[in-house]
Chain A
Amino acid sequence: MNVEWYVVLSSLLFAIGATGILIRRSPIVILLCLELMLNAGNLALVAFSRMVGNQQGQVFAIVVMVVAACEVVIGLGLIVALFKRRLPLDVDALKELRG
């Protein structure tokens, strides 16, 4: 199979993830969308690795997975903390960072 299909699928997944982050307000869904974007990147990495014929891209994909796992830990931790403090699970309602 051609590498183009993989890249198209990866782009599609990335766009879906980005759109999800931009339009959804639930932090859990945003976290899911982030995972989607990361894995779109992973797909592209693996596809290009196959195309080039060495393993470097695959190694990077594994590194990205580790980063993604860390990110999920922190993200879910934040969500649990929000929940415990009975704060609204809505990113638009949490705007204490406003300058």
Chain B
Amino acid sequence: MSATTWAWLVLLLPLLGSILIGLSFKLVPARVAGIVGTASIGLAFACGVAMLVNLLGQDPDARHHASSLWDYASVAGLDIKLGIYVDQLSTFMVLVVTGVSTLIHLYSFGYMRSDEGYHRFFSYLNFFVFSMLLLVLAGNFVLLIVGWAFVGFASYALISFWYRRTTATKAGMKAFVINVVGDIGLVLAAFLIFRELGTFDYGAVFAKAPHVFSTNEWTVTAICLLLLVGAFAKSAQLPLHTWLPDAMEGPTPVSSLIHAATMVTAGVYLIARTHVLFVLAPTAADVAAFVGLATLLVAGTIAIAQTDLKRVIAYSTMSQIGYMVMGVSIGAYAQGLFHLMTHAFFKALLFMAAGSIISAMANRQDIDRMSGFWKAMRLTSILFLVGSLALAAFPLTSGFFSKDSILAFAEARGGMYFWMAIGGYVGAFLTAIYTFRLVFRVLPGDPCPEAQHLIESGELYHGPPINPATEEEEDVEVGFPGAHHHIAEQSKPMAVAMAVLGFGALFAGLIQVPGVSDVLFKFLDPAFANSPLSEVHPSVGAEWRGLVIGGLISVLGIGVAWLLWVARPEWPALFRERLRPVYLLCLNKWYFDEAIDLLVVRPALAIGRFANRTFERVVVDGLVIGAEDVVGSGGRLVRLAQSGYVRAYALLLVVGFAGLALYFLLSSS
């Protein structure tokens, strides 16, 4: 079978899984739904591997294929096919998405076992994977937008999965609205592309673009900036990032899959996919790189001050995606995608471990309450540590190689990009600090009561079910989290999924070690050969220099975290007091929510109120009420004739007909 046939199978399997599980609700036991859901994604991963094997059998420069099933829309000069585009980039994304998804499905199989909405969860999750695969396999901008909107919906549905929790439904709406802002940018970009190039098809667009656009022409810059609006909203970059921390209201596997490993990297994929346009619009690419840099720094500072376990990891996700966006924008395409892959591994792992800890805490997420989990949950703790080491780019872990490959490229490009690399190292320092702040506060020390309970009885602590955001007590029926979730120590599927990811988080970087192995870049580079920036290559020496610097910074950051939260635990409070304005700024997330409220939400409400007061009340109501008055007064006049005396009506009738007869008699004579 050809690569495209395998790709169609990759798309078909999760869709089938979603439909089957959705329709067989109540017909099959929950276990079956979980097995079907996991198996469909696992098979999709197998098909993805087959696709890769097929591509590897071909000449590196001929590894791109388009295929279409039927016309999606064919009107008035528009010819859109239901087509996919298989090349190194989409194959890579398919493998990352299906691979990580399989493990997260496996994890959910154990984690969500006590939840009332088990079928619904797996149906949504499979639908999400289908949408994400549609997004990365789409062969034209229209299907890309379809997949883009589908993942937005899946994200909304899964954030609001516990739909009787008000905080969750609000977070879902927020995510959806902000993502729609991004969708509008993407749709407008597609319109502009069609106006200028007359086609939506990837192949044709990228072939024509260099001949139609001159460098930095305003149209191509506008297209790229609009694409960036879409990418920023989906990938939670400044200033459209505020939905991501709130999205942590969803179940932890969702945070792991959608809001860490796959969907939020769609923006990175989009920039890499349209790199031909970004090469023609260097200004837009620089904007993207600066936003990525700003995001990674801002998110890093916020993460240091937050106390919600999942939110800290969410901010670290934002920050790591900042690296990727910066990477693919400055031309480090393969490097950015490399970081995307390793990040998917260690961040998914970190969320899984966090989910396990939160289960043991009876759904509480506040790190101030946690301590001593090293003694209570050894497996989870080890894997949490592994994920943290990779996130902090500890030497020889996967994050170490991938993050520094981006920064080494920036350094090699020189000029202002050199300073971006410096900013990236500052971000790496922050990353190490906030990551090990989590580790040092959660793992060591005397066990907290929940952990103590687990050690003594070997069973999970069962507090009253509460909403971690509002501390309100809640129900455990459908629409709420079940009575309890599960921990990796007591659930085989969870332990297996986490162990595999832990292996990936530790060793996935070894496929791409400067001067030693070059598996990934050799595979990906032909897809970006048409970019002039593919000429830039940091020397092996420079890369190793970057790696040493990165490793030192990581170790230094971990040391600082150790100093602050283990050796001198009284210091953080001291800092909070001395640097109160800075602390408040970080604690309140740089006031982005407030700023958006002030700049967008309030003006919109004010305009609405103004329109209500003037236009609605005066013009619309004037017309409507005026018409009503005319009809009403006419009716009052006619009512006078309706006396209710039948004989009076009869008299009127007789007189009227007599008058009429008289008139005709007179007029005819």
Contacts and interface: CB of A to CB of B under 8 A. Distances in A.
Contact of B642 (A18, A25, A92, A98): A98
Interface string A33-51: 0000000000000000000
A66 to B, nearest CB: 22
Interface string A60-99: 0000000000000000000000000000000110111111
B642 A91 contact: no
A22 B654 contact: yes
A21 interface: yes
B650 A98 contact: no
A22 B643 contact: no
Given A22-B650, A99-B638, A99-B639, 12 more contacts: A21-B650, A22-B651, A25-B647, A91-B646, A92-B647, A95-B643, A95-B644, A95-B646, A96-B644, A97-B646, A99-B640, A99-B641
B641 A92 contact: no
Contacts of A91: 645-647
A92 B646 CA distance: 7
A96 to B, nearest CB: 7
A96 B646 CA distance: 10
Contacts of A23: 647
Nearest to A34: B650
15 contacts: A22-B647, A22-B650, A22-B651, A22-B654, A23-B647, A25-B647, A91-B645, A91-B647, A92-B647, A95-B643, A95-B644, A95-B646, A96-B644, A98-B644, A99-B639
Contacts of B650: 18, 21-22
Contacts of A99: 638-642, 644
A98 B647 contact: no
Nearest to B649: A97
A16 to B, nearest CB: 13
Interface of A: 18, 21-23, 25, 91-92, 94-99
A23 B645 CA distance: 12
Q: Report which residue of B638, B640, B644 has the largest number of chain A beta carbons within 10 angstroms of its beta carbon.
A: B644
Given A99-B638, A99-B639, A99-B641, A94 B646 contact: yes
Contacts of B643: 95, 98
A47 B547 CA distance: 122
A21 B654 CA distance: 10
Interface of B: 638-647, 650-651, 654
Nearest to A95: B644
Contacts of A92: 645-647
Contacts of B642: 97-99
Nearest to A15: B654
A87 to B, nearest CB: 14
Contacts of B640: 99
A21 B646 CA distance: 10
Nearest to B638: A99
A75 to B, nearest CB: 12
Contacts of A96: 644
B651 to A, nearest CB: 6
Nearest to A92: B645
Nearest to B651: A22
A95 B638 CA distance: 17
Contacts of A21: 647, 650
Nearest to A23: B647
A88 B654 CA distance: 26
A18 B661 CA distance: 15
A95 B651 contact: no
A21 B644 CA distance: 15
A71 to B, nearest CB: 14
Contacts of B647: 21-23, 25, 91-92
A86 to B, nearest CB: 20
Top 3 nearest A-B pairs (CB, nearest first) are: A98-B644, A95-B644, A99-B642
A95 to B, nearest CB: 3
Contacts of A95: 643-646
Nearest to A19: B654
A46 to B, nearest CB: 20
A23 B646 CA distance: 11
A98 B654 CA distance: 20
A96 B651 CA distance: 18
A99 B635 CA distance: 9
Q: Report which residue of A18, A91, A92, A99 has the largest number of chain B beta carbons within 10 angstroms of its beta carbon.
A: A99
Nearest to A18: B654
Contacts of B651: 22
A45 B400 CA distance: 111
A21 B645 CA distance: 12
A13 B639 CA distance: 34
B360 to A, nearest CB: 76
A96 B642 CA distance: 10
A92 B640 CA distance: 17
Contacts of B654: 18, 22
A27 to B, nearest CB: 9
A19 B647 CA distance: 10
A22 B654 CA distance: 9
A95 B80 CA distance: 70
Nearest to B642: A99
Nearest to B654: A18
Contacts of B641: 99
A63 B638 CA distance: 35
B641 to A, nearest CB: 7
A97 B647 CA distance: 12
A25 B650 CA distance: 12
